[in-house]
Amino acid sequence: MDSATVTVLWVTSLIMILCTLVFTYRSFRARIEIKHFYYLTALITLIAATLYMTMASGYGGIGLNGKVILFGRYIDWVITTPLLLMNLALIALPRNFPSRFAVIGTMIAADVYMIVSGLGASLIRSNFRWAFFAVSCAGFLAVLYFIIVKLTPEANVRSGPVQRHYSTLAIMLIALWVCYPIVWILGTEGFGIISLLPEVILYAILDVLAKGAFGFVLLSKPGVLLEAERET
């Protein structure tokens, strides 16, 4: 890795730490019923900060056939993407929703499958990696199915403010998440159209938006979160 790439990784780690501090500080003032949203959001950026730090210091990547594979990002994603989905699902589904646990659990299982098979695709250098890419996309489609077909209709029968907050977050999440496989295809693990530095920059921007900005938007309406936590 050249020094520019290492710098981008350190700077991103720092941004994630700052987000974590802000989210944690704000959790102190939050009402007890909605503190878990703050904790989840802070944990997400803390995990990202840790993995960015690991990658920046050279321990989150390996050299494979002359290429650097930053597997650290998959360790980050395999923990943080389930937490992001949980945050969204807890707004859509009321506390007493009968299959709340089953819906969230199955969606998270598909998400973990997506990331783990994506890691497989990145570690395989032959064209067989595209088979892993394809099954990872299938996992992604399953996650999108859960959001669009399971969560959205439930959110749409809730109060106006909860509906609006949910739909802002769901649109933001889907718009950002679809960019990841596109960067993968363009980057060093896919067709290699862009080199490692622009790839790292693009993922860093996406990660800051999908974790940090998403967190700020989510926590910007504590009143709505409180309403979402009510029984129905």
Residues 33-52 that bind ligand RET (CB under 6 A): none
Residues 6+ apart with CB under 8 A from 210: 84, 173, 176, 177
Per CB under 6 A, the segment of 25-33, 56-64, 157-165, 203-211 that binds ligand RET is 203-211
CA distance readout (Å), 70 to 28, 52, 107, 163, 203: 35, 10, 26, 38, 11
One symbol per residue from 76 to 115: x for binding ligand RET (CB under 6 A), - otherwise; what is it?
A: -x--xx--------------------------------xx
177: contact with ligand RET by CB under 6 A: yes
Find tokens 């595209």 and name the residue: 130
210: contact with ligand RET by CB under 6 A: yes
In DSSP notation, 58-87 reads: T-S-EEETTEEE-THHHHHHHHHHHHHHHH
Q: What is the rounded distance in angstroms from the CA atom of residue 156 to the CA atom of residue 153?
A: 5
Q: Which of 118, 162, 188, 200 binds ligand RET (CB under 6 A)?
A: 118
In eight-state DSSP terms, residue 54 is H
Strand, helix or coil for residue 209: helix
| 52 vs 140, beta carbon nearer ligand RET | 140
**What are the tokens at 133?**
């890419």
* Total chain residues near ligand RET (CB under 6 A): 18
Per CB under 6 A, the segment of 9-17, 49-57, 162-170, 174-182 that binds ligand RET is 174-182
Are the C-beta atoms of 211 and 84 separated by less than 8 Å?
yes
| 94 vs 140, beta carbon nearer ligand RET | 140
Per CB under 6 A, the segment of 35-43, 53-61, 90-98, 136-144 that binds ligand RET is 136-144
Per CB under 6 A, the segment of 57-65, 145-153, 154-162, 205-213 that binds ligand RET is 205-213
Q: What is the rounded distance in angstroms from the CA atom of residue 36 to the CA atom of residue 229?
A: 11
| 15 vs 114, beta carbon nearer ligand RET | 114
Residues that bind ligand RET (CB under 6 A): 77, 80-81, 114-115, 118, 121, 133, 136-137, 140, 177, 180-181, 184, 207, 210-211
